[in-house]
Amino acid sequence: MNWTNEPIYEVNEKAPIKLDRKTLIPYAKFFFHYVRGQLGRFIIVEKPEDVPWLEEATDKEKADVEKNLMEVTYKGIGRDNLFTLTATVVFKNALFHTDIKVAPYETEVFDPEIGAPEQFTIGQMKLTNEDLILEELNIPVDPPPGEFG
């Protein structure tokens, strides 16, 4: 593992993961636990203890975050044939609600944002419908990806 999605996607090519309603949420949690993008890391947060607070965090700040947390929820398979989950995530020092799209198999999906088709491999993920809830939180910001040490 090297904090990128490549090792996960390589394993999925050689030994495809079976994604269904039972395995989807654990797979998403595993994926986001071990992957950091070049712009930062998305941390799925469902409970107050999931939030990596700095010492400077206030009780009010923690309470504001807690009232916006939700469990990762399965929303079904969309018209795009991708599984859809909805979750609360921390990115950098902000809290978002977002949909997580996951490809159940290799497929091509039209992306209206870029106006072109997008190739997905089995297990590939994409965040959509991000909704900023709170920002400038006292949360540590992880560095860009690097090797496990």
Domain ranges of the chain: 6-134
Burial class for 67, CB neighbours closer than 10 Å (0-12, 13-18, 19+): exposed
Dist CA 143 CA 36 (whole Å): 9
Contacts of 18 (CB under 8 A, 6+ apart): none
Q: Given CA atoms 38, 43, 44, 45 in this order, what sign does their dihedral have?
A: negative
What are the residues facing 111 on neighbouring strands?
116
- Tens digits of per-residue pLDDT, 45-80? 999 999 999 999 999 999 999 999 999 999 999 989
- Tens digits of per-residue pLDDT, 91-124? 999 999 999 999 999 999 988 778 899 999 999 9
CB distance 52 to 79 below 8 Å: no
Where do the DSSP E strands lie in the chain? 42-44, 73-77, 83-91, 94-102, 107-111, 116-120, 125-134
